[in-house]
Amino acid sequence: MFIKTLNCCLKLSVLISLLLINVGQLNAQNEKVVFKVEVSSDTIYYGNLLLIKYTMENIDGDFHAPYFEDWHIVGGPNTTSQYSMINGIVSQSASYEYILRAVRKGNLLIDSAVINDGEKILRSDTLSIAVLPNPNNIEIKPRGYGFGQEIIFDENHKKLSPQDSLKLKMRKLKIKSTKI
């Protein structure tokens, strides 16, 4: 009798766990999907470092960094990830950060990074960084991220226009302010 009760409790706890996982996945799908790239500056002196960070929010996929053709990777990828469930709302994010040094002067491009979620492929935009001559060997250390772009995707992984992205953000703010 005791073993039957124990088996029943175990089955019930497994069923509840699976249900909670599925509810969490549904909530994560309802959150906005964001893929953004940030750089410490859009202009640097030759010989100085550039910080670049790719952040994906509410995307469960494989990240593929670009080939940094005109750049030497000094550090990275440094990765961070975050997962939270607050009042049943699940959100998750992951970031990949690189420290780069230009191999030449001029307007240098950083190609798109790619996320493959198994169904769709999401791409960041290509960035252009001005690398200026540095005859006096001026060294300026990067201090965080001052420039960047945020690309928001809809539930079908289509890029939203800037106007639609703003509308979505405003709607989110209204939802959050009414919950307080």
What is the pTM (predicted TM-score) of this model? 0.65
136 confidence band (pLDDT: 50, 70, 90): confident
* pLDDT for residue 179: 47
Reply yes or no: is the peptide bond before residue 142 cis, omega within 30 of 0: no
Give DSSP secondary structure letters for 40-60.
S-SEEETT-EEEEEEEEES--
Element (H, E) at 20: helix 2-30
For 107-130, the pLDDT digits (tens) are 999 999 999 888 888 888 899 999
CA distance 179 to 92: 21
CA distance 150 to 32: 12
Mean predicted lDDT score pLDDT of the chain: 75
* Closest residue by Cα to residue 119 from 62, 57, 35: 62
For 43-91, the pLDDT digits (tens) are 999 999 999 999 999 988 899 999 999 999 999 899 999 999 888 888 8
The order of strands in the sheet holding 33-39 is: 71-86, 89-102, 49-57, 33-39, 147-153
Phi, psi of 144 (to 5 degrees): 80, -160
Token output for 41: 């500056």
Q: What is the three-class DSSP state of 84?
A: strand
